[in-house]
Amino acid sequence: MSTGEAAGLGLGVGALLVLLVPVGDWVPDWGQAGLLVRAAGCITAGLCVLLLGWLHRILFAPLELLRGPDDVGYIAEGGRSKARAANEVRRRRKTGDLPPVYPNGWFRVLDSRLLQRGEAKSVSVLGEQVAVFRGLDGTAYVVDAYCPHLGANLAVGGRVVGSCLECPFHGWQFRGEDGKCVKIPYSEKVPEFASVKSWPSCEINGQILVWFHCDGSDPEWTVPEQPEVTDGRWVYRGRTEHFINAHIQEIPENAGDLSHLTQLHTPPITSGVDLRYTYSKMWEFLRHHWKAEWAPESEPNTHCSQMLLRHQLTVFGLHWSLLDVNVVVRQVGPGLVYMVFEHSFLGRGVLFQCVTPVEPLLQCVSQTIYYQANVPALVPKFLLTAEIIQFERDVMIWNNKKYVSKALLVKEDSAIQKHRRWYSQFYSENSPRLQHQRDTLDF
């Protein structure tokens, strides 16, 4: 229940109780003052409901924060709106000499819990519109959204029939498994070639993923399962969603850019996300300290890399070991990252960070946290809040920078070049490139 819903419920209860009071029974004994006392009591009851709803949201409900493409990372000055500031940056910013815009690999399209049995949703991914639907047997499928008959979007008003998706325009039914049309209600025969593209997909760790390869090759690796999430030992505690106006490689490259941790993430989370003010003297007594190591994994997991991250907090120069956190960050392919948190007495949990290209220079970054069920919800919600603040500082950089293919690096930046060599394995000769700054893709 949101705070607004709780407020409405609380005040509604108060108002209802006032209306239900038999005024005629009360006026003779209490008069006008008695009626006011009764009304005040009802309003107090409503406020108590509001308070309980607020406390429930803080203490128990998952934290969910969904940011729009213009909400974070732009400076709106001189009376400009956020949307106008974002559009100006996107229009004027130089892109640089970009790598291919869509690497080969697994990408998240939707969280499992957001797709009910018999439901279909339209999703933008990798420059395409896809229909994601769950068959009546519970299996999730991903197919191209547009019907080959006359172009209707199958997911907008389309009906799930068994393991097929029915077009809302003329009732053609397409099988989720292979995209083949199996029924045309007004035709005796279905043409052999009538079909939509069916995307290779899997459902794991509470997420629906699709496989993309520029040459149409089959999946080259499988996504590892997080057993604690699958068997319910770790429970869902919240998610966030951001849209980043940058090339996809910019985001995971932070793992190799170890020196940016000191510059960008040393100021405490209390100093906010606007980089113009994060070094405010008000919060100088608080400091985050980071130690990190990054390296690619060896065969057979060369598509994976690992970063070991250690966090410490100092207050007036004194180390508070109570807030030490160790994080093992494992990247699987170009768009999936698993961050396993381990705290000395507050237990363990995992944050799934998924980077999915929506368009060539627009990435959807989803972060979903699961934590030990016996740990109070406030703990993972605090960790997710801290991650959001630190992450949105990066967003301000990504949204305004250009990609430098021949970066000017010093010896201490060697991990950046190593990360770029490792990431290059996800591009093929035919991987699509952005030829012009505005809108041209060369396949």
Bridge partners for 441 per DSSP: 434
Each residue's pLDDT tens digit, 112-147:
999 999 999 999 999 999 999 999 999 999 999 999
Identify the band that residue 306 occupies on the pLDDT scale cut at 50, 70 and 90: very high
**Start and end residues for every CATH 3.90.380.10 domain found in the chain:** 65-94+227-434
Identify the band that residue 21 occupies on the pLDDT scale cut at 50, 70 and 90: very low
CA distance 411 to 401: 22
Angle between helices 3-20 and 23-59 (to 10 degrees): 170
Instruction: Dig out the tokens for 310 from the structure.
Output: 């250690």
pLDDT at 2: 46
Nearest alpha carbon to residue 396 among 285, 255, 281, 263: 263
pLDDT at 26: 43
pLDDT at 13: 40
Does the structure show a pLDDT above 90 at 50?
A: no
Q: Is the distance from CB of 130 to CB of 196 less than 8 angstroms?
A: no
**Start and end residues for every CATH 2.102.10.10 domain found in the chain:** 105-212
Helix (H) or strand (E) holding 293: strand 286-296
State the burial class of residue 283 (Cβ atoms within 10 Å of its Cβ: 0-12, 13-18, 19+): middle
Provide DSSP, 79-106: T--HHHHHHHHHHH---BSPPPSS-SEE
Q: Is the distance from CB of 109 to CB of 125 less than 8 angstroms?
A: yes
Does the structure show a pLDDT above 70 at 253?
A: yes
pLDDT at 415: 96
pLDDT at 149: 97
Please state the φ and ψ torsions of residue 108, each to the nearest 5 degrees. -75, 135
Question: Token pair 């009304």 is at which residue?
Answer: 39
Q: Is the distance from CB of 158 to CB of 207 less than 8 angstroms?
A: no
The CATH number of the domain covering residues in 65-94+227-434: 3.90.380.10
What average pLDDT score do residues 382-407 get? 96
Identify the band that residue 60 occupies on the pLDDT scale cut at 50, 70 and 90: confident
What average pLDDT score do residues 105-109 get? 98
Return the percentage of the chain with pLDDT > 70, whole number: 91
Each residue's pLDDT tens digit, 154-191:
999 999 999 999 999 999 999 999 999 999 999 999 99
pLDDT at 5: 46
What CATH architecture does domain 105-212 belong to?
Answer: 3-layer Sandwich (2.102)
Does the structure show a pLDDT above 70 at 442?
A: no
pLDDT at 381: 94
More reliable by pLDDT, 18 or 412: 412
Q: Is the dihedral of CA 179, 183, 186, 190 positive or negative?
A: positive
Identify the band that residue 37 occupies on the pLDDT scale cut at 50, 70 and 90: confident
Each residue's pLDDT tens digit, 329-338:
999 999 999 9
Helix (H) or strand (E) holding 328: strand 325-332
State the burial class of residue 197 (Cβ atoms within 10 Å of its Cβ: 0-12, 13-18, 19+): middle
Identify the band that residue 24 occupies on the pLDDT scale cut at 50, 70 and 90: very low
* Predicted TM-score (pTM) of this structure: 0.86
Identify the band that residue 436 occupies on the pLDDT scale cut at 50, 70 and 90: low
Return the percentage of the chain with pLDDT > 90, whole number: 79
Identify the band that residue 23 occupies on the pLDDT scale cut at 50, 70 and 90: very low
